[in-house]
Structure 1
Amino acid sequence: MSASLDDPVPLFVPTRTAGAVDVACLQVGRRPDGVRVGIAFSRLELLREATGPRQDWVRMHEDELREQLAQLGVGVIQCDPVLVGPDVFAPAALLDHFA
């Protein structure tokens, strides 16, 4: 069962390390039509199934997530996606990391 984004419970949001080890950035993605989306999960198990066991994450409420995504120009949240892969627009060296 997918969560409704109207639920007041915190979501599990995938992150990645940027620059310094103690700096986490929200992971965003793209739908097949090219629209950038924020990514969130209703349960940790769903995040693990879609991203793998080593994915970093934070918990946050939808309103906080929307505020942070707005600063990146992202207005859509994809909740409980089935698969989260590497950015298809990433440099080849980064994509080799996922091979």
Structure 2
Amino acid sequence: MPELLCGDDPEPSDRFPAGPLFVPVRPGPAGCAARLFRTPLGERTAVGFTSPSRLAATLGPDQAWIRLAEPALRALTAPLGVTTVTVDPQLTAPAPASTPAPAPRRPVAPVAVSLRIA
């Protein structure tokens, strides 16, 4: 079955809603506020995780969270101009592969240069 496009969204729509998500929050003056992040291209996005363990693996075990359905998260962030929800992101780059240390360079002897000005 082909996937359908949603409005102006250039990405194909999901076949199933993401369901209840674990959304990272921070304390605010009126309670909790959803944390917003940026995509690699700099666009603001709301973030949700499918399990508390995935949230803790990415943001740390002390990260506060609330449980929200994906449509509720979209409705919460839409007035802020955030239209993207990223589910289970990997917010850190993987560790680089080890590379061998470069070979030491031999010192180069200085060269004397004389200039004649006429």
- Structure 2 length-normalised TM: 0.61
What is the aligned-residue identity percentage?
35
Question: How big is the shift at 1:9?
Answer: 3.0
Q: RMSD of the TM alignment (CA)?
A: 1.9
Question: How big is the shift at 1:6?
Answer: 2.7
1:41-76 superposed Cα distances (whole Å, 9 cap, x missing partner): 011110000000110000011111110010211000
Task: State the alpha-carbon separation in 2 of the partners of residues 34 and 55 from structure 1.
Answer: 23
Does the alignment pair 1:73 with 2:81?
Answer: yes
Number of residue-to-residue matches in the alignment:
79
| Matched letter for residue 53 of structure 2 | E
Unpaired runs of 5+ residues, structure 1, are 85-99
Q: Does 1 or 2 have the higher relative contact order (CA < 8 Å, sep 6+)?
A: 1
Q: Secondary structure at the match of 1:37?
A: strand
- Structure 1 length-normalised TM: 0.72
Q: Of Structure 1 and Structure 2, which has the larger fraction of its residues in helix? A: 1
| Matched letter for residue 75 of structure 2 | E
Unpaired runs of 5+ residues, structure 2, are 1-13, 93-118
Q: Which has the larger radius of gyration?
A: 2
